[in-house]
Amino acid sequence: MTLQPKCEDVETAEGVAITVTGVAQVKVMVDNELLGYACEQFLGKSVIEIKSVILQTLEGHLRSILGTLTVEQIYQDRDRFAALVREVAAPDVGRMGIEILSFTIKDVYDKVEYLSSLGKSQTAAVQRDADIGVAEAERDAGIREADCKKEMMDVKFQADTKMADSKRGLEMQKAAFNQEVNTKKAEAQLAYELQAAKEQQKIRLEEIEIEVVQRKKQITIEEKEIDRTEKELIATVKRPAEAEAYKMQQLAEGQKMKKVLTAQAEAEKIRRIGEAEAGSIEAIGKAEAEKMRLKAEAYQHYGDAAKKALVLEALPKIAAKVAAPLARTNEIVILSGDGSRVTGEVNRLLAELPVSVNALTGVDLMKIPLLQKMINPQA
């Protein structure tokens, strides 16, 4: 099986985060005992699952080894780094019945341009050595030329040669110093940027933790405020509302009971009054009925004589009722020039009296001989 372990943004011994990818060739061991280990570990699993287990093991060892080396050691000696990974990971995968056939480093890179800075430093060193070689070559050429001229003009050019040598040496020294200073500045600037990035990351983590704590406290405060508001609403709104509702309910029940009792009492009063009135009416009706029955029996027994006696008994009362308005009259004056007319008016009144009595009592006075004779003497 071919595996490609990869560790991203792993910090080295110097704290530089780098990413390393590799290629590993592994296989299942054929030794009986080790093959049994492999069967025990991977029997029933798919090839993808087996690769995942081995890959995670290799990546774990790769990550741990990266933390013990510097970037220069990893980048400049990849073979030693790969051999170290094989050496450390082989026992663990061997206990799973897996053998590492090969392990090589495929790529090493970072996101902070640390490796590119190393390349720039090496380039600067090579350039420095080239400049020194050129200067030395030029120096040798000058020396030889000076020697030739020295043979010709030893005295004349001796001072010039020394002056040129001193000047050249001064320039070379200045160039070397400048190169070293620039190199140190670049290294210092790079280290400063790396350290600043680390500190900024730490500060951000602390700020996030502070924000989390503040948010938790704010949530706690809001929960307590919600509980307080809820209790306050219960105390100031719900309880008084319940008490008022209970009061109104009791008052309504009392009014209802009062009205029911009042209605019952009024009904009982009306019933009893009605019973009393009904009893009174019944007694009066029974007495009247008994009276009428006795009168009817008497009338039936005596016949016309009883009826005549009744009429005679009622006539004074009728006369009294008719004369009642005249009782308050001192005198009656009938104006008529003819005396016979006054007599006629009186006769007319007497003639109308039987009709009125008959209408009031149902008794015909004209059938009573005595009264008939009184009313109509001519008859």
pLDDT at 306: 62
Q: Give phi and psi for 100, each to the nearest 5.
A: -90, 110
Q: Per-residue pLDDT for 85 more than 60?
A: yes
Confidence of residue 187 (pLDDT cuts 50, 70, 90): confident
Q: What is the mean pLDDT of residues 265-279?
A: 79
- Which residues contact residue 107 at a Cβ distance below 8 angstroms, ignoring those fewer than 6 apart? 19, 20, 21
What percent of the chain clears pLDDT 70, i.e. is strictly above it? Answer: 73
Place of tokens 């005396």: 339
- CA dist., res. 253 & res. 228, Å (int): 36
Q: What is the mean pLDDT of residues 301-316?
A: 65
- Which residues contact residue 9 at a Cβ distance below 8 angstroms, ignoring those fewer than 6 apart? 17, 18, 19, 111
Q: What is the mean pLDDT of residues 48-74?
A: 83
Q: 202 or 305, which is more confident? A: 202
pLDDT at 213: 87
- CA dist., res. 177 & res. 195, Å (int): 27
Q: 58 or 115, which is more confident? A: 58
Q: What is the mean pLDDT of residues 13-24?
A: 84
pLDDT at 51: 86
pLDDT at 335: 58
Q: Per-residue pLDDT for 165 more than 60?
A: yes
Sign, CA torsion 275/281/284/290:
negative
User: How high is the mean pLDDT of the chain?
Assistant: 77
Q: Are strands 98-110 and 17-28 parallel, antiparallel or unpaired?
A: antiparallel
pLDDT at 267: 79
The b/e string for 80-118 (b: 16+ C-beta within 10 A; e otherwise) is ebbebbbeebeeebeebbbbbeebebeebebeeebbebe
List Cα–Cα distances, 171 to 132, 138, 139, 146, 167, in angstroms: 11, 13, 12, 19, 6
Question: Among 5-19, 158-172, 269-283, 298-312, where is mean pLDDT lowest?
Answer: 298-312
84 phi-psi bin (left φ>0, alpha ψ -120 to 50, beta other):
alpha
Q: Per-residue pLDDT for 312 more than 70?
A: no
- CA dist., res. 83 & res. 71, Å (int): 16
